[in-house]
Chain A
Amino acid sequence: DAGVIQSPRHEVTEMGQEVTLRCKPISGHDYLFWYRQTMMRGLELLIYFNNNVPIDDSGMPEDRFSAKMPNASFSTLKIQPSEPRDSAVYFCASSLGRVGEQYFGPGTRLTVT
């Protein structure tokens, strides 16, 4: 299997622009997770889905962030409008059957200037 696929790998944008991050989970996995990682705040769980349904979105920082999972093989994390403090590495992960054993993608490094 190719593992979790994220795109783009790097994104540089200006403040105020819309940013869309994409994730393809491992085929057959029923859980999908979005994380944000920074030096200051560490690894933060933003939201996770089970069978395409959002289960816990308590980590989504504010209304500027939204996540969707229209089908089992694709998810997006959107930031609109983006701000410099959103600069971070965003990881997507997926798992099968339970939330503990997650497989992480390579991450998207977002820089907002």
Chain B
Amino acid sequence: LAKTTQPISMDSYEGQEVNITCSHNNIATNDYITWYQQFPSQGPRFIIQGYKTKVTNEVASLFIPADRKSSTLSLPRVSLSDTAVYYCLVALLRAGNNRKLIWGLGTSLAVNP
């Protein structure tokens, strides 16, 4: 059964690039990875999603190597407001075209001045 593993916490400083890696063994070609951000007292918020290689949007990049055993969320030039918990989510394709959702336990990112 697939599972996801993320670091519990990370520290960074304003202006730095932050890379958070999620390990997810046993995922197939049609399984995709999504990352979420959560601030205290709020629900998680979608950041980025992808199947393979690299995806970039206005806030982050997602790197997925060829072996698909991990994915890396990259936050360029973080600010204090990026202090939050970041979750990876793997959506596994199952019978009947349904998906099994596997959430990571979250990485608490602290951005320091």
Q: Which of A13-21, A64-72, A77-85, A102-110 contacts B (4 or more CB under 8 A)?
A: A102-110
B103 touches A45 (CB 8 A): yes
Q: How far is the CA of A104 from the CA of B34 in the complex (A)?
A: 14
A99 touches B101 (CB 8 A): yes
In the complex, which of the residues B36, B98, B101 has the most CB atoms of chain A within 10 Å of its own CB atom? B101
- Enumerate chain A interface residues (CB-CB to B < 8 A): 4, 42-45, 48, 50, 55-56, 91, 93, 98-107
Contact of A50 with B103 at beta-carbon distance under 8 Å, contacts A99-B91, A100-B34 already known = no
CB distance from B55 to the nearest CB of A (A): 12
CB distance from B28 to the nearest CB of A (A): 15
Q: Of B41, B91, B100, B105, which contacts A100 at CB under 8 A?
A: B91
Would you call B49 an interface residue if the criterion is a C-beta within 8 Å of the partner chain's C-beta atoms? yes
B35 closest partner in A (C-beta): A100
B49 touches A101 (CB 8 A): yes
- Enumerate chain B interface residues (CB-CB to A < 8 A): 32, 34, 36, 41-46, 49, 87, 89, 91, 98-101, 103, 105-106
Q: Of B32, B43, B105, which contacts A42 at CB under 8 A?
A: B105
Residues of chain B lying within 8 A (CB to CB) of residue A93? 43-44
B87 closest partner in A (C-beta): A43
B98 touches A55 (CB 8 A): yes
Residues of chain B lying within 8 A (CB to CB) of residue A43? 44, 87, 103, 106
A99 touches B46 (CB 8 A): no
Q: Of B44, B46, B89, B101, which contacts A56 at CB under 8 A?
A: B101
Residues of chain B lying within 8 A (CB to CB) of residue A102? 36, 44, 46
A107 touches B49 (CB 8 A): no
A42 touches B106 (CB 8 A): yes
B98 touches A56 (CB 8 A): yes
Q: How far is the CA of A45 from the CA of B34 in the complex (A)?
A: 15
B49 touches A100 (CB 8 A): yes
Q: How far is the CA of A101 from the CA of B34 in the complex (A)?
A: 7
Q: Of A45, A100, A103, which contacts B32 at CB under 8 A?
A: A100
A106 touches B43 (CB 8 A): yes
CB distance from A71 to the nearest CB of B (A): 21
